[in-house]
Structure 1
Amino acid sequence: MASGDPSGSGAPKGVEHVAIIMDGNGRWATARGWPRLVGHRKGAERVKQIVRAAPDLGIRWLTIYAFSTENWKRSTEEVLGLMTLFARYIEREADRLSAEGVRMRFIGDRSRLDAKLQRLMAGIEARTAANTRLNLTVAINYGGRNELARAMRVLAERAARGELDPAALDEGMVDATLDTADIPDPDLVIRTSGETRVSNFLLWQAAYAEYEFTPTLWPDFSPAELAAILERFDGRERRFGGVRGA
């Protein structure tokens, strides 16, 4: 599990992995009389700023929820626009991310994504694999239940082949089969836009994460607000099921 502030930056102790549900792009645009995709483009610009600020705040792992398994229910225009936006982000940011020591990877079911987007994803993962300053994980076509179902399918197939004794199945085996197998659990999950639900995000991994819900719409979420949330996190006591002071 994540612990400590390895950066020496003075950031709040214990915040190693922050996960963010980036919500409110569409409402931000609609409130201004603009198409929803304008809000998504503005949200992508905000991602760049948060990624750039994260290491200086002591964050080593940043996971962002870009597109859920339920988001396919949106209009064809919006879905296609989002997929184009993801591809452009990878193409345009690859050089900068690599130069700034950011390792980028993706979680979620890639099978439904466009072949070109899948190639771009695999390419930037390979290109940035050795980077260590910040681990950026992007959840695309991701859903916690879908992830768990896929993991259970893999474990069931292993058991059917005689490679796994069902009686020996434990939490560690499940954890190692998830998309996030080599990623530490989040310490803090932030959701923007005022909604107070987890929306099928990191259901297994966030079992003991702290949550912060802010009314700020994602395009307006600034590094300064992130820093303030981390300061509040520093005052929380995480007992992981234990007793205070034990």
Structure 2
Amino acid sequence: MRTIVYADGGCDPNPGPGGWGVVIQAPEGTVELCGGDPQSTNNRMELTAAIRALEHFPEGSALEMRCDSQYVVKSVTEWIRGWKAKGWRTTTGPVKNIDLMQRLDELAARRDVRWVWVRGHAGEAGNERADRLAAQGRREALGLPPRPAPAAPAAAPTLAAVPAPEVPRGTSLAIDGALGLRVARAAKQAGTTPQAYVEDVLRLALDLGPDGLSAARATLEARKAPAA
């Protein structure tokens, strides 16, 4: 029987501070792992998540690795064999992220891994949790404390029923043309839809909070500043 594993990672901005998260649905209970890097890329964080997950298991373990990164899944299942035959080179030069690719190949070769791509932010609980852990890893990379756990809901009134406020089913956000074009381009690079990309960015902003956003913005501005 294979152990189900979810791995996810990402940066904001990309490149920039990143995080990775892993959810291992082991028979004896769920195991969660996360970490971050103050300067990385989306692809490196996705690869790191898969590597940290595999490192958790001894050689010979049977597992099903579920990732929402086609870059990771296709690298292992389609591309690595050809890269190795060509001395870890592509038609345009050395394989990108070769250090992580070689480590991933080494670990996967010693374990019985079934690689499965899952659609991100599609409601699959393990994937959603791995995404939140990656956000926690980004906070750690920025030197921020973990987000506090949500407060427990208040006890329901006992003397009289209080009607719940009406909540709108959706919220429309106006985006100007230039920003919309940037979103469309970024979503295409990420391999997702503009709607899903915007939701991911908003979710990350809420995870980081005002302090985290300020720290991330300061890091970005420092990186853009010309060298003295």
| TM bracket (short chain) | under 0.3
TM-score normalised by the chain length of structure 2: 0.27
Structure 1 length-normalised TM: 0.26
